[in-house]
Structures are given as structure tokens and as C-alpha cells.
């Protein structure tokens, strides 16, 4: 039986807590966080908002904002257990403990929206081989996709995720803004958005690319630019079209 | 029983043909296209590559490249039936027939990948009220989402779709390129991409936005920019981050 303490009560903490409820080989023995109001999300026997009262566990999972990791880790400096954070963009060495690591689930978590952890890639890293093995065992209990990724690669992977998630969502937002402008529901774009994401579940985005920029259809692009009034949208349309064109020119 | 002739043998033609196979109230009586090799995709009794041999039908659906619509429509200039195209960005009046319209399914179609038409928005427009009613009946046979949208609005809707589909796919491609650079599989991003799309099926993208630019986390953005080497990627990162920031500043 692996004992886990979760430090943090946000979305990642909540989703990890729920994922660990299922397997019998792991138990969350404590949840620690400043925000007492969030404790109702966690059916753990032991919760505390006092960081000096963190009990013993095999693994301490720090699931807090990136810039709070170092500070929180200091409360764990005397612990023998493995201390890990869950951040994509933070160096493992932000944790000072000798026995340290990273447990990064590559997914976006929304409050109240359950996710199937089975298919979520979990990127692990550890200072010691034995700890890496321990993290592998832990991750395998909730996911079929466990990857050993070092801090430098993980940062780039996180950057890739920013393009695929944050920036993509902003483009959805532009779609929504245009719908609002012409008085039609964003519902009209929703099936397209889903199909676009489903398409690349099997295809490479390179092969899935369509549209005026891909075809080099200058007339359609000019027509589109004439329809846009928002300066940022015009800049984005132009830059994204150029980027698509140059991607396929390189290929020739 | 509505009789349909489909002019064109590409992805849209194929997917529409398959959708019309199910309802009993409609029958595709002919498929017309230059590319005989594509006829195997259509189990229609009547196929021809001779555009002067188009028979009679209640509705002629021109599903060809945008810049070929006007030319193809001229072969139908003597027909009494309703002539429509399936293009998002093309004016209805590109068809000269007096009895004309538009039947635009707002979705991306991939060869060989079946789609559920039920939830695909079909945007219709027609010169005559009676024809609009006819298109409404036809669209309702295959989809629950039928919308009357005029040419001007449809063009903007198509532009919104370019952001939500073509440009989004390019961002997936950047994610893929970064994965390749660090030698990890694009599979690591696939669940994130799907969840990002699923999230906005119920939420507004405005409310779903996360990431360094949304939080105004200048340090993370600087770190990300330092990791990028590709000039276009740097420009896109900068412009998209600025666009996200200004979206939420406007809101204040």
C-alpha cells in the first residue's frame, strides 16, 4: 500500500485525488491546503490548512501554482518520503529535498468535469532510480501512458501543450466572437471543433491540414481579410496563413 | 420522394451521398463528375462524367471546388429544379439559375471517415421562399440542426470556421513539431487536444481560457519564448499571447 499526501486543493489536486480513490494499492492519507473551503471536494479522513502539520507518507504530491512550489516544498524538507510536483514547466530541482521528482499529468482539468485518467499521459522524473520506479508504479495504477521525461524535455512538451491547448482555445474564442458579431450561436462551430480534434487522434496534423492557406488560394484569403475588422484578428489571420504556407513550401 | 442529382465526387459529395442513403423520402438519382475513378465511392445507379447528360431532379447539389461552381452551374442553366452549392464562402448568386440556393454543411470531411450528420449544422439559403422550405425539408432529413443563413453571414461563419478548424490544426502541427524536436510521440498531446475541444462543447471559450497569457504570467511566457527557435513559432507565440491578454483586459 502506497501512502500519499496531496499538498494543494485546486483542480489538479482534486482530479488526482479522485483518480487515486479507485486503485486498492494506494491511499491518500492527507490533503493539505490553505483554502479550507475546498476541503469538501476531498473525502479524505485527514485535511489540514496548517503546513507544519503534514504527516508521514511515501509520496508527497505538491499540486499548487508553479511559483508556490519552492515555498511549499520547504515545509517538507525534513521528510524522508519522495517529494514531487505536478508542473510541466517547473524544474525538478525547484524542490530541494534529496529525494525529489516530478509527476506531471499532461491534461487540462476543469472543475467538476470528470476525466478518464486511463489515457492521460503521466510524465515522470526522479532524482533516484528507486524513486523513478516508485513513481512508475504509482502512475501505472491510474494511467496506461507513463513516460519518463526529464525537466528540459518536459518544459518543451509543456510549451507544445500551450500551443495545442491555450492558443487553440483562443482561436475557438475568435470563432465565437465572429459568431456573436453576426448573431448566430457558437453551437454552429462546436461540431467542427470536435471533429477537428478527433481527426488528429489518428492523422498527423501535417496531413490533416486543409483550407485556403494550405491550397495557396490567395483570392479566398483576401476575401477573408476584407471581412475582418479587429486588428489582432487580422494580424493572426495573416501570420497563421503565412505559417501554414511556409510549412508546406518547406516540404517541397 | 425528393430526387437529387449530386454534381461533384469529392469528400463533401461522398459524405452527402452517404447521408442521403438512409432517409426514405430522398433518392440520389445521379452522380456527375469528371473523375470516373471516384464513381466507385457512389453506389448510385446512374453516374456520368458528361456534364451535358445531367438528367432531371428536384434538387441539383453542386459540391465542387469554390472556383468551379459558376462554370458547373452553367450546365444546369436550362433546368427547372433547384440548383444549390455547398460552399461556405461563395455567394448564392454565383449560380445564375433563377431557382438557386445554398446547402452548406458546416463540418470538415475526411475521406473514408464516417461522420454523424445528425449533429452537423446545415446552413441553407434560397432565392425563393418555396425553395427555402424545400431545402429545410431536405436538410431536416439528415440533420437536427438546420439554420437559415444569408450569403453575407455565411461568409463570416466560414471565416470563423477557418479559425476554429484550419488555424487550430496548424497549432496542433506546431505541437507535433515540438514533440518531434524532443523525440517524444505526438500521442502525448492527443488526449489534451481532444479534451480542449470537448471542454468548449459546453463552456464558452472565453470562460475556458487558461495558461500563462491568461494569468498574465510574464515569467513563464519569457521562459517559453527562450525555448523556441523557429521564427514563425516565436511570432505566433507572441501574437497569440498578446491577443489573449488584450481579450481579458477589454473585459475589465
Q: Nearest CA to B20 among B128, B114, B159, B141?
A: B141
* B219: containing domain: 154-251
Q: How many domains does chain B have?
A: 2
Per-residue pLDDT tens digits for B124-158: 999 999 999 999 999 999 999 999 999 999 999 99
Query: Are B161 and B144 within one domain?
Result: no
Could you say which of A96, A125, A149 is where a domain stops? A149
Helix, strand, or coil here: A41? Answer: helix
Give the residue from chain B lying closest to A186, CA to CA: B204
Query: Are B184 and B212 within one domain?
Result: yes
pLDDT for position A111: 86
At which residue does the C-alpha cell 533516484 appear?
A128
Query: Best residue in B193, B213, B222, B229 to probe A by mutation, most A CBs within 10 Å?
Result: B193
User: Is the model's pLDDT at B111 over the cut of 90?
Assistant: no
Give the closest of B149, B189, B213 to A164, CB-based.
B189
Query: Are B115 and B54 within one domain?
Result: yes
A175 part of contact set with chain B, CB < 8 Å? yes
pLDDT for position A249: 82
How far apart are alpha carbons B100 and B151 in whole angstroms? Answer: 12
Query: Are B143 and B28 within one domain?
Result: yes
Q: Which three cell numbers stand for residue A22?
A: 479507485
Q: What confidence category does residue A70 fall into, taking pLDDT thresholds of 50, 70 and 90? A: very high
Helix, strand, or coil here: B249? Answer: helix
Could you say which of B129, B149, B169 is where a domain stops? B149
Report the CATH number at residue B102: 3.40.50.720
Give residues 134 to 173 of B whose Cβ lies within 8 Å of A: 145, 147, 149, 153, 155-157, 159-173
User: Is the model's pLDDT at B252 over the cut of 70?
Assistant: no
Give the residue from chain A lying closest to B233, CA to CA: A243
Give residues 191 to 220 of B whose Cβ lies within 8 Å of A: 191-201, 203-206, 208-214, 217, 219-220
pLDDT for position B250: 64
Per-residue pLDDT tens digits for A169-181: 999 999 999 999 9
Give the closest of A163, A190, A233 to B171, CB-based.
A163
Interchain pair B186, A163: CB under 8 A:
no
Per-residue pLDDT tens digits for A27-46: 999 999 999 999 999 987 79
Contacts of B6 (CB under 8 A, 6+ apart): B13, B16, B17, B28, B30, B31, B32, B42, B61, B63
User: Is the model's pLDDT at B113 over the cut of 90?
Assistant: no
Per-residue pLDDT tens digits for B60-103: 999 999 999 999 999 999 999 999 999 999 999 999 999 999 99
- Helix H, strand E, coil C: the string for B157-191 is HHHHHHHHHHHHHHHHHHHHHHHHHHCCCHHHCHH
Count Cβ atoms below 10 Å from residue A127 Cβ, excluding itself: 18
Query: Are B48 and B65 within one domain?
Result: yes
Return the half-sphere exposure (C-beta side, CA atoms, 13 A cut-off) of residue B197: 24
Query: Are B53 and B107 within one domain?
Result: yes
How far apart are alpha carbons A132 and A116 in whole angstroms? Answer: 23
Could you say which of A149, A181, A206 is where a domain stops? A149
Mean pLDDT of B158-182: 98
Q: Is the ipTM of this complex over 0.85?
A: yes
Query: Are B75 and B7 within one domain?
Result: yes
How far apart are alpha carbons B168 and B44 in whole angstroms? Answer: 36
Q: Are A89 and A123 in contact (CB under 8 A)?
A: no
Please tell me the distance in Å from B231's CA to the nearest CA on chain A.
Answer: 10
User: Is the model's pLDDT at B243 over the cut of 60?
Assistant: yes
Please tell me the distance in Å from A53's CA to the nearest CA on chain B.
Answer: 31
Mean pLDDT of chain A: 95
Contacts of residue B183 in chain A, CB cutoff 8 Å?
153
Query: Are A128 and A205 within one domain?
Result: no
User: Is the model's pLDDT at A67 over the cut of 80?
Assistant: yes
Query: Are A77 and A198 within one domain?
Result: no
Report the CATH number at residue A243: 1.10.1040.20
Helix, strand, or coil here: A6? Answer: strand
pLDDT for position B44: 77
Query: Are B141 and B96 within one domain?
Result: yes
Query: Are B21 and B139 within one domain?
Result: yes
Query: Are B243 and B135 within one domain?
Result: no
User: What pTM was estimated for this model as a whole?
Assistant: 0.95
User: Is the model's pLDDT at B45 over the cut of 80?
Assistant: no
Amino acid at each position: 500500500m502506497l501512502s500519499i499526501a496531496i499538498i494543494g486543493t485546486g483542480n489538479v489536486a482534486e482530479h488526482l485525488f479522485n483518480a487515486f480513490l479507485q486503485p486498492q494499492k494506494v491511499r491518500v492519507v492527507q490533503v493539505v491546503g490553505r483554502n479550507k473551503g475546498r476541503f469538501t471536494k476531498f473525502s479524505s479522513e485527514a485535511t489540514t490548512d496548517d503546513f507544519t502539520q503534514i504527516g508521514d507518507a511515501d509520496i508527497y504530491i505538491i499540486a499548487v501554482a508553479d511559483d508556490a512550489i519552492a515555498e511549499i516544498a520547504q515545509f517538507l524538507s525534513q521528510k524522508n518520503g519522495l517529494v514531487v510536483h505536478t508542473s510541466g514547466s517547473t524544474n525538478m530541482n525547484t524542490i530541494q529535498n534529496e529525494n525529489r521528482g516530478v509527476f506531471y499529468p499532461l491534461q487540462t482539468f476543469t472543475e467538476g468535469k470528470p476525466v478518464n485518467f486511463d489515457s492521460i499521459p503521466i510524465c515522470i522524473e526522479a532524482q533516484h532510480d528507486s524513486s523513478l520506479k516508485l513513481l512508475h508504479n504509482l502512475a501505472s495504477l491510474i494511467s496506461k501512458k507513463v513516460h519518463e521525461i526529464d525537466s528540459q524535455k518536459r518544459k518543451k512538451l509543456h510549451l507544445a501543450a500551450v500551443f495545442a491547448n491555450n492558443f487553440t482555445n483562443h482561436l475557438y474564442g475568435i470563432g465565437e466572437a465572429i459568431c456573436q458579431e453576426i448573431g448566430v450561436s457558437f453551437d454552429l462551430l462546436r461540431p467542427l471543433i470536435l471533429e477537428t480534434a478527433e481527426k488528429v487522434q489518428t492523422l498527423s496534423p501535417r496531413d490533416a491540414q486543409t483550407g485556403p492557406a494550405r491550397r495557396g488560394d490567395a483570392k479566398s484569403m483576401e476575401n477573408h481579410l476584407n471581412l475582418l475588422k479587429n486588428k489582432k484578428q487580422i494580424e493572426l489571420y495573416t501570420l497563421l496563413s503565412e505559417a501554414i504556407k511556409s510549412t508546406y513550401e518547406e516540404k517541397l
